[in-house]
Amino acid sequence: MSEEDPYTLPGTTVLRNKFGITDAAELEAAEREWVAQRAMAGVPAGKFNLHHLQAIHRHLFQDIYDWAGKLRTVEIAKGGHQFQFRQYIETGMADVHRRLTEANFLRGLRLADFATQAGAIIGDVNYVHPFREGNGRTQFLYLKQLAQQAGHPIDLRKIRAKHWLSASKSAHKADYSLMATEISRATDPN
């Protein structure tokens, strides 16, 4: 991120927010609380396309950020990994949606096959990273809806944070096996 990040308060890394919070830890706490409340209230359904992802993000972050549900206007990277260039966000998500449509939204698959294909889908959604902040939480709820309609309900509490982070880094290099493993663990009824 450049020093001219329009999403942050001048001279800080704190995101501009509706509460006027200027402390990063305080904003993180407020964000967690509001997002949890919105998630418990239910998440918009959709067609697993970019519009659907935007609707989930808007729903989760509407109380905190004016830009909730809007595509990012800056390039972002994390841990040395560059995410999709912003001008290709729509193309990237269109490809994800095309693949899901061709695969009948992963319906009728055995758990192992579902986990493998869902891992690739979510890995690519993560690479697209359409929002300035809140991509992970949005992706989890997108995955939860995808798993539910595919007949493999997922328990997001079973996903191990450190393992998911490693899986995300591997997926950035087109290795989706770790992500598939975490999805399989979280969808396994045992």
Q: Is residue 22 part of a domain?
A: no
DSSP string, the chain: --TT-TTB-TTSSPBP-TT----HHHHHHHHHHHHHHHHHT------SSHHHHHHHHHHHHTTT-TTTTSPPSS--EETTEEPPPGGGHHHHHHHHHHHHHHTGGGTT--HHHHHHHHHHHHHHHHHH--SSS-HHHHHHHHHHHHHHHTT----GGGS-HHHHHHHHHHHTTT--HHHHHHHHHHH---
CATH number reported for the structural domain that contains residue 123 in this entry: 1.10.3290.10
Give the percent of the chain with pLDDT over 90.
Answer: 94
Average pLDDT over residues 22-37: 97
Q: Is residue 89 part of a domain?
A: yes
* pTM for the structure as a whole: 0.94
Q: Is residue 28 part of a domain?
A: no
pLDDT in tens, 96-114: 999 999 999 999 999 999 9
Predicted confidence at residue 50, as pLDDT, reads: 98
- Number of structural domains found in the chain: 1
Q: Is it the case that residue 2 has pLDDT exceeding 90?
A: no
Q: Is residue 54 part of a domain?
A: no
Q: Is residue 77 part of a domain?
A: yes
Q: Is it the case that residue 1 has pLDDT exceeding 60?
A: no
Q: Is residue 113 part of a domain?
A: yes
Q: Is it the case that residue 86 has pLDDT exceeding 50?
A: yes
Q: Is residue 32 part of a domain?
A: no
Q: Is it the case that residue 80 has pLDDT exceeding 90?
A: no
Predicted confidence at residue 3, as pLDDT, reads: 54
Q: Is it the case that residue 64 has pLDDT exceeding 80?
A: yes
Confirm if 53 and 64 have CB atoms less than 8 A apart.
Answer: no
Q: Is residue 50 part of a domain?
A: no
Residue 119: domain span: 71-187
Average pLDDT over residues 7-35: 96
Tokens 């904003």, located at residue? 27
Average pLDDT over residues 71-77: 96
Average pLDDT over residues 158-181: 95
Q: Mean pLDDT, the chain, as a whole number?
A: 95
Confirm if 45 and 51 have CB atoms less than 8 A apart.
Answer: no
